[in-house]
Amino acid sequence: MTDWRTQLAEKKVVIVDGAWGTELMNRGMTPQEVPDAWNVDRPEEIYSVALSYVNAGADIILTNTFGGSPLKLAKVGLREKTAEINRLGTEISKKAASSRALVFGSIGPTGELIKPFGAVTETELVKGFAEQAKALAAGGAEGIVIETMMDLAEAKAALRAVKENTFLSVAVTMTFNKAGGNYATLMGVRPDHAAVELEKAGADIVGANCGAGIDLMIEVARIMHRATSLPIWCKPNAGLPELVDGKTLYRESPEKMASRFRELAEAGANMIGGCCGSTPAHIRALVFERNKLITPKA
């Protein structure tokens, strides 16, 4: 399996996987359950999600470890299972990927704010993320994605933890929403500022995930691309979540997402997948569009 940089050079746009949370709910996970605990309790379901994205043609798949930082796991009584949950999650994705896809270990936010706004220190954050990163590396991850970040300080703490404890490439992606004509995270971080600061802090890839759908993602990609020369990773949701009869719906179809693929790529995104509500069908549609960009070899 060639590394992500070679793949990027060869394929112009690397396709990343789609949502995990919504796929696990389709497999019976209830909102009360801890998704990451399924790496231990329901590994066959985790394997099935991972394999569905490999079969859809994703070049990179993630791991079911989004909530696997010890600070987050402590909230659900699983603090002491940090190493096991992250290592198993990576091993399951690696098994599904075989030699057909690369595996990037997923690190999500802790849900904690750094002092004086919250209860944790930066040192505690780095220590926690380091524990998670080491377990992801031990499981065989070929890269790390720090995703759905709102707070630049937390994103940088996670980045530092991975860089100091592994040799892996790191993508850092934040979640931006549009308010008053501008894009920012819930904590007020703008996309251009994020790109500059994260590049300075040593990220190999920067970008955005989650949010409102592919149309807004195109604008965010354009802003980030102007601010950095790093590759841009974009995983848009399949539209804004809508609550209908107590169920969360995402209305952007694979066709809709695929129809905007070229525009997203031209805006500067070169590592593209889907976030909440996206399915293997979305990823297959993105792969189909991407393949049109690759000129056939003579």
Q: Which is nearer to Zn ion, 7 or 237 (CB)?
A: 237
90-103 burial, b at 16+ Cβ within 10 Å, e below that, comes to bbbbbebbeeebbb
The nearest distance, CB 6 to Zn ion, in angstroms, is 28
**According to the binding rule CB under 5 A, does residue 149 interact with Zn ion?**
no
Binding mask 185-224 for Zn ion (x = CB under 5 A): -------------------------x--------------
Q: Which residues are CB-neighbours of 197 under 8 A, at least 6 positions away?
A: 152, 156
Q: Which is nearer to Zn ion, 63 or 237 (CB)?
A: 237
The nearest distance, CB 1 to Zn ion, in angstroms, is 26
Site for Zn ion in 66-85 (CB under 5 A): none
**Residue 36, phi-psi category: left (phi > 0), alpha (psi -120 to 50), beta (remainder):** alpha
Binding mask 262-281 for Zn ion (x = CB under 5 A): -------------xx-----
Q: Which is nearer to Zn ion, 82 or 237 (CB)?
A: 237
Phi, psi of 233 (to 5 degrees): -105, 125
Record the tokens describing residue 97, joined without a space.
Answer: 């990927």
Q: Which is nearer to Zn ion, 53 or 114 (CB)?
A: 53
Residues that bind Zn ion (CB under 5 A): 210, 237, 275-276
